[in-house]
Amino acid sequence: MSGPLDPRTDPDVDLRVPADRGELTAHPGAVLTTIAAGGVLGALARAGLQHAVPHQPTGFPWATFGINLNGCLLIGVLMAVLGHVGGGRPLVRPFLGVGVLGGFTTFSTYAVDVQQAVVAGTPATALAYLAATLLGALVAVWLGDAVAARLLDRFGRDGGRAAR
């Protein structure tokens, strides 16, 4: 992905390291509240978009497809940014990554949409949606991480002033 990460960026990677447990042990209530608040915001944004762009069971679920791909792109960007700036703010990742983007993306609705398309007699749509979402989500995470990491490496924390 984008290179070596600050060991504090993702504290659930190795809970045997005391510094990596800091986010969970220091304020477990704050972490859970932060995730819940972010999840509400992400889910409301998703629900609004799905309401604005409805689809028939036999049609392609463009809203869910776009939500999941954009959410994955933003998860990739977030990974790169947190890897670049480090884990100095322990509630940013749970709020944005697990909460907002976790609530925004909806792979459970994706599975239901695929099942409904099959039941509605459009297995080709179901298969296309299944494959496009899987491939698109992986590409979106990679692309978000790669582009953000490149921009961060180029412009850095000083906004690129040092490169001039």
Ordered by start, the domain boundaries in the chain are 18-163
- What pLDDT, on a 0 to 100 scale, did the predictor assign at position 24? 56
Alpha helices in 86-122 (DSSP H): 92, 102-104, 107-119
- Rounded Cα distance between 99 and 134, Å, is 21
Cα distances (Å, whole numbers) of residue 102 to 24, 67, 98, 111: 18, 11, 5, 16
- Rounded Cα distance between 54 and 31, Å, is 34
Q: What is the pLDDT of residues 126-164, one digit of tens each?
A: 999 999 999 999 999 999 999 999 999 998 755 554 554
How confident is the model over 53-75, as a mean pLDDT?
A: 94
Is 64 annotated for ligand binding?
A: no
Q: Which residues contact 7 (CB under 8 A, 6 or more apart)?
A: 13, 17, 19, 20, 87
Q: What is the pLDDT of residues 97-109, one digit of tens each?
A: 999 999 999 989 9
Q: The pTM is what?
A: 0.79
Residue 76 sits at the vertex; the CA angle it makes with 38 and 108, to the nearest 5 degrees, is 60
**Is 3's pLDDT higher than 70?**
no
- What pLDDT, on a 0 to 100 scale, did the predictor assign at position 19? 57
How confident is the model over 44-52, as a mean pLDDT?
A: 96
**Is 9's pLDDT higher than 80?**
no
Is 105 annotated for ligand binding?
A: yes
Q: What is the pLDDT of residues 120-132, one digit of tens each?
A: 999 999 999 999 9
- What pLDDT, on a 0 to 100 scale, did the predictor assign at position 114? 95
